Structure 1
Amino acid sequence: MKTAIVTGAGQGIGRAIALRLARDGFAVALADINPAALSTVRGEIESAGGKAIGVEVDLSQVAEIQRLVKQTVAELGQLDALVNNAGRLITKPFLDVTEADWDALLELDLKTVFFAMQATARHMIDSGVKGRIVSISSVSGRGGRPDQTPYAAAKAGVISLTRSAALAFASFGITVNAVCPGVVDTPLTRKIHEDRAQALGITPEESLARMIARIPLGRIESPDDIAGAVSFLCSPDAAYITGQALNVCGGMEMD
């Protein structure tokens, strides 16, 4: 049985990815800072006949990332795939972003991605595993976002890290790719639309409708849409794909 680590697996996109990989036959190491959420997702996987462990971890600490990899191997026997999903989003005008905002977001959305890639790739190389590394970026990383500047910068960095890692590890048979979601239906997204609607003096439904009007496929995407792309990139069918950032956004971005 192959094994995958999914960070930020306790809710939203991470939960959907973990459930999908478990259905694909992976044993999943669920990594999150919220132990209650980990227990819930682990229960969902096990009740469906899958195998999972929950690892409570503070990904802002490099030593904790290294512990995550070691614990995964110790409990599940190997490591075949890493999905870097954990992250945060700060929505503020450019001029209102503080140093604390910048540091907190770049730490979780970019620094942890690098060190998780590093720890995972080191183990894969030492073990001779031709593994998969997939990181969740965003279409915000494709262009400027004046109200999400640190987030957009971090997600652009994830795309660049993906390309650098793909080149660094290609000779070992390790593929490294990114997935760039657009507007995903999660509690965080709904909160953003509520705040934006209040600022504009409209309803959250009107705010969401304006966003959907920008999506050629005409609907907001679900976490399962992202999970499907990750599933593909972790599959044998994607063995010859590396260094790519796959837009999964209903056509919002086309490049």
Structure 2
Amino acid sequence: MGRRSSGPRVTGAGMTAVAVVTGAGQGIGRAIARRLPGEGFAVALVDLDAAGLAETAKEIGDDGAQTLPVRSDLTEVRNIERTMSQVVKAWGRIDALVNNAGREVTKPFLETTEADWDAMLTINLRTVFFATQHAARAMIAGGAGGQIVNIASIAGRSGRADQAAYGAAKAGVISVTRSAALALASHGITVNAVCPGVVDTAMTRRIHDIRSRMAGISPQESLRRMVARIPLGRIASPDDVARAVAFFCSPQAQYITGQALNVCGGIEMD
């Protein structure tokens, strides 16, 4: 369950702070969207899945927080611009952006197609770049700085034989995070990344279904082998990731930028 807000975060202009969360219709995005009202944010929920958006909005609304559901296909840059403009029109500002929308392709390296490659870079990297760009413009216009958090992956830290395209895109997210942190620092905008490991989501279950078929084992055995590699001995919950995102969006992280934080139970330690 999300935390009940202790009250909206009030900006210097006397207005509630506004966060935009992409991919908010399920999984990690939903957990982030539910966590941020507890940090004082009104939350714009962005996803292509209308039913998922409605469910997330209902869950957050039940906790008494403000939400703005926005159905949008972020693979089109013009839709990203429209989405950010819609949020500014509704609430007058953007203070935080969480780039969470994404997909994965799990295939052997030699079977990964041009379409797979293009899809991974479009949804996982291009959307992050242009959402960051358009949200940053709104933050600069507002004159109060802001926070941008990009959801990368430990797959972007080290290679995966069956996730070459996905891993390349997520490595790109880490690079864009660092470049944007340098470019936007003078405007008081921090940019950081969170790199989840194995998280209990529908996407992870699909990955283990695919890997189990490739290896000729059960999905349960595939998951057991993965958990055996995690020093903390369990997979993450979406809330584990959401807590890290909330930290980067909080005043406690105001002097942290350009960082990529692993939230993986110790699988990756670089």
Question: TM-score under structure 2 normalisation?
Answer: 0.93
Distance 1:170 1:160 in 2: 16
**Aligned runs of 1:78-97 on 2, under 5 Å?**
78-97=93-112
- Indicate the RMSD between aligned Cα atoms, in angstroms: 0.8
The unaligned stretches of length 5 or more in structure 2 are 1-15
Deviations 1:177-204 (A, max 9, x none): 0000000010111122122223323222
Q: What residue number does 1:180 align with? A: 195
Following the alignment from structure 1 to structure 2, what is the Cα–Cα distance between the partners of residues 193 and 142?
20
- Aligned partner of 1:107 in structure 2 is 122
1:75 to partner: Cα distance: 1.2
* 2:92 counterpart letter in structure 1: G
Q: 2:177 aligns with which of 162, 172, 187?
A: 162
Alpha-carbon distance in 2 for matches of 1:209, 1:91: 18
Q: What residue in structure 2 maps to residue 228 of structure 1?
A: 243
Percent of aligned pairs with the same amino acid: 64
Inter-partner Cα distance in structure 2 for 1:242 and 1:173:
10
Structure 2 residue aligned with 1:213 = 228
| Alignment partners' CA distance in 2, 1:101 and 1:46 | 37
Q: Whole-Å Cα distance in 1 between the matches of residues 25 and 155 of structure 2? A: 23
- State the Cα distance separating 1:33 from its structure 2 match: 0.4
Among residues 33, 39, 62, which one is paired with 2:54 in the alignment? 39
Q: 3-state DSSP class of the match of 1:27? A: strand
CA contact (8 A) 2:99 2:151 kept: yes
Structure 2 residue 206 is matched with structure 1 residue 191: yes
The alpha carbon displacement at 1:175 in A equals 0.2
- TM-score when normalising by structure 1: 0.98
Runs (4 or more) in structure 1 with deviation over 4 Å come to none
What are the superposed Cα offsets for residues 77-116 of structure 1, whole Å, 9 maximum, x if unpaired? 2110000000000001111111111111110000000000
Structure 1 unaligned residues grouped into runs of 5+: none
1:60 aligns with 2:72: no
The one-letter code of the counterpart of 1:83 is: V
